[in-house]
Amino acid sequence: MTTIDNYIIHNTQYHETDQMGVIHHANYVKWMEEARNMFFDSIGINLVEMERNNNVFMPVLFESVNYIKAAKYDEKIKIICECIKFNGIKVEFEYTFHNMTTNELCAYGRTSHGFVDKTFKPIIFKDLFKKEYKILKENINCNIND
């Protein structure tokens, strides 16, 4: 996995294919997580630290993937992750998956997340993490609703 700007490049692996020889659909969800983590790392927010030091978690509330063209073994897939909505309580991301050789769109997806404490009680991120909230506001290109 390589991180470049606002996307990652994933080299597809044989073990990610299904019986038809194409990348199994479940891998796209894993790739979205990798791209999302890269997004946070790139703006200076360490999600692992937030979990370990503050017992704050970001569960998936919704996810979807629309498949356009099959990705196959030994292809390079560019995965772009963009924040499309953030209101201090929930955050939504959009993802696109492009074949690096042909530049064809293979799939696109979306996830929505909340913020909870270790007891799974929802928290208001913008109230508890003012510094990180400010970083998100200054570094993302999305609709921020206060």
* Catalytic center residues: 18
Residue type, 128: L
Alpha helices in the chain (DSSP H): 26-42, 47-54, 125-128, 130-139
Residue 84 φ/ψ, nearest 5 degrees: -115, -15
Q: Are 39 and 6 in contact (CB under 8 A)?
A: yes
